[in-house]
Structure 1
């Protein structure tokens, strides 16, 4: 689902928001999540999951094209852990 598809879905469920309102709402929510993650904060949405930052230590890697080794700097990546309710929803078909 893309951002525009999410906005369209919100408009179908909540037509009183209007296009600008739905767009603003989605952008603000995503902006708050991004801002807090950039500050190193953990974001927990109960029933959905949690976003956090994981640090990756510097390491030596290999260039797959020519086989030379390259040094990769320390970096941060976003980690998402699905909540219990979301995991259960994803596995409903498996239980039948």
Structure 2
């Protein structure tokens, strides 16, 4: 499902226009992005939580030449599925 299909599904379930559903989805994504970039964890009970994770610096290899390269440490976004979401996925 891509974003447009999600907008169509939300509009169909809520009875709102596709434009309103798109604005709502955009606002939700913006709010989650802002909170996580500020270091907060966003918890949606039954769905899951978004948080920041850390990836340590490491040594990698260039697959073309085999030369070692240093890969810098980075922040990542972690999503942990909630119990209800996991149960729904495993029920099918």
TM-score, normalised with respect to structure 1: 0.89
Give matches, 1:55-70, under 5 Å. 55-70=54-69
Provide the residue aligned with 2:28 in structure 1: 29
Give the Cα separation in 2 of the matches to 1:75 and 1:9.
35
Please list every run of 5 or more consecutive structure 2 residues that lacks an aligned counterpart in the other structure. Answer: none
Residue 37 of structure 1: CA displacement?
A: 1.1
Provide the residue aligned with 1:52 in structure 2: 51
Give the Cα separation in 2 of the matches to 1:29 and 1:61.
36
Provide the residue aligned with 2:4 in structure 1: 4
Give aligned pairs, total: 92
Give the Cα separation in 1 of the matches to 2:62 and 2:40.
33
Which structure 1 residue ranges, 4+ long, deviate > 2 Å from structure 2? none
TM-score, normalised with respect to structure 2: 0.92
